[in-house]
Amino acid sequence: MRVHQAYRYALDPTPEQARLLASHCGAARFAFNWGLARIKAAMNQRAAEQSYGIADEVLTEVPWSLYSLRRAWNAAKDTAAPWWAENSKEAYNTGLDGVTRAVKNWAASRKGARAGKKIGFPRFKSKHRALLSCRFTTGTIRVEADRRQVTLPRLGTIRTHESTRKLARHLERRTGRILSATVRREGGRWFVAFTCEIDRTDRTDRTPAKPDAVVGVDLGVKDLAVLSTGEVIANPRHHRSALKRLRRLNKQLARRVGPRTPDGGRRQASARWAKTKGALGKAHARVANQRRDGLHKLTTRLAATYGTVVIEDLNISGMLANRSLARAVADVGMAEVRRQLSYKTGWSGGGLVVADRWFPSSKTCSGCGAVKAKLALSERDHSCIECGLVLDRDLNAARNLAALAAGVAQSCGETVNARGGAVRPGVRARPAPVKRELPPGRTLPRQRGSSLTLTKKH
């Protein structure tokens, strides 16, 4: 089994290396803007020609492909950027590749061929607001033998802040191959991410600690996750803990602006404004790193312990539309949990089952199977009027998710829904029927929409 995996390391570049990194990222931004301007000019020219009734076969061609843009760039780079030789060719290829991807995504979204929300036409990248990033696919890209340095084209050998032993072991055993390297600046630090092809054929016999165990995971806001085993993982609320500092830095950023321009226009940014902006970026990066670290530890433990993990197909976009819950939901990272479990369960030899979005996990009684008509969000306990079971609603939902996995074929590394079929983006599966024993005097459940209603015999 060959998989694509990324290894990300923080860098400790020298001042000269930091200047070169920024120069390469700036060159990528320049090439992006140059390519976008050329595409817009060709599109405007083509629209003007169409308005005059010119035949389609003689209209101006729009350079949609990366090949056509690179050919045009090589012909115009001496005039457009006389300093182009100071940076690697990969920097300009990064920008041109980015603009072609952005335009193709816009065209696909406009035609309805791209899933998700409609996206707008790409915009020019600002020098002061654009993310510094550059990708290398050719040249000398390697991890040094001391496992504390990496070598990149035109940048030389750069020291890493942490050991690269995990990637170095794959390279030494020849079970890994570096495909590309991407440098990026986040939160005041430089990072490098190696995209690698990893051979995992030597780990096919790896199984979870409990290969026959099934665990249901109910994600929430009050608690990060509640397992069907009764374990409760507390929600650390990293963003909420840092909110006081973030508010203070935002207020400070709003005050630290310089005088207005000579023509009375916008106020200029001062040196202290730039310093506060850097501190604010570091604070946000710290929150993101803390959240990412906690989710990785949780998903790794679940995948390495249980043979089957069951989660829900949550409507995260709809939950974020609720202004009362948006901040708390975003602080949890529910979509990231599913994304990590989707590949970690396969690596560990287990399986992932994704319950249908309309499966009433909270409304269904885990004891007798009765389904409530309504269950308010403020009701933290599930009280069954049929069997009298009183249970925490999150634990009750987790147990229902674990019971749902009974009879579902376990597929190593494959994400399946409640009916055992592969989950495809944009396809909504029907709710899965759950067979349960009914209390005496009850008939079979009658399905109404997404819920089940029990009726008495007369």
For 225-244, how does the pLDDT look when each residue is reduced to its tens digit (9 = 90+)? Answer: 999 888 999 999 999 999 99
198 and 214 together in one domain: no
Same domain? For 105 and 230 the reply is no
Residue 347 within a domain: yes
Instruction: Examine the domain organization and report whether 95 and 187 are in the same domain.
Output: yes
Name the pLDDT band for 438 (thresholds 50, 70, 90): very low
Pair (198, 61) in one structural domain: yes
**pLDDT of 12 strictly over 60:** yes
Q: Answer whether 151's CB lies under 8 Å from 142's CB.
A: yes
What residues are annotated to the active site?
Answer: 218, 312, 394
Q: Is residue 314 part of a domain?
A: yes
Note the pLDDT tens digit of each residue in 281-297. Answer: 999 999 999 999 999 99
For the cut 80, the answer to whether the pLDDT of residue 441 exceeds it is no
Give residue 365's pLDDT. Answer: 84
- pLDDT reported for residue 47: 87
pLDDT exceeds cutoff 80 at 407? no
Query: pTM value?
Result: 0.78
Does residue 270 sit within a domain? Answer: no
In a domain, 43, yes or no: yes
Minimum mean pLDDT range among 95-109, 380-394, 432-446: 432-446
Residues 339 and 384 both lie in one domain:
yes
Task: Please report the pLDDT score of residue 202 as a whole number.
Answer: 57
Which of 156, 181, 205 is a domain's end point? 205
Identify whether the C-beta of residue 18 lies closer than 8 Å to the C-beta of residue 26: no
Of 21-25, 225-229, 305-309, 403-407, which range is least confident? Answer: 403-407
CB environment 55-94: b (16+ within 10 A), e (fewer):
eeeeeeebbeebebbbebbeeebeeebeebeebbbbbbbb
Tell me the pLDDT of the chain averaged across its residues. Answer: 84
Rounded Cα distance between 355 and 363, Å, is: 14
pLDDT of residue 434: 41
To the nearest whole percent, how much of the chain has pLDDT over 90? 51
Flag whether 287 is in a domain: no
Q: Residue 298's pLDDT is what?
A: 94
Q: In terms of domains, do 76 and 115 share one?
A: yes
Decide if 194 is inside a domain. yes
CA angle 418, 422, 426 (to 5 degrees): 95
Task: Domain of residue 370: give its range.
Answer: 210-237+302-453
pLDDT band at 430 (very low <50, low <70, confident <90, very high): very low
Q: What is the pLDDT of residue 442?
A: 47
Q: Are 98 and 126 within one domain?
A: yes
pLDDT at 49: 85
Is 127 in the same domain as 27?
A: yes
The pLDDT, as a whole number, for residue 204 is: 52
Q: Are residues 226 and 194 in the same domain?
A: no
Lowest model confidence (mean pLDDT) among 12-16, 72-76, 113-117, 454-458: 454-458
Structure token digits, residue 88: 């690697």
Are 191 and 155 in a shared domain?
yes
Please state, in angstroms and rounded to a whole number, the distance separating the CA atoms of residues 362 and 135. Answer: 46
Mark whether 199 and 330 lie in a shared domain: no
Same-domain check for residues 137 and 232: no
Domain boundary (187, 205, 223) is at 205
417 within some domain: yes
Tell me whether residue 255 is in a domain: no
Say how far apart CA 425 and CA 128 lie, in whole Å: 36
Please state the domain count of the chain: 2
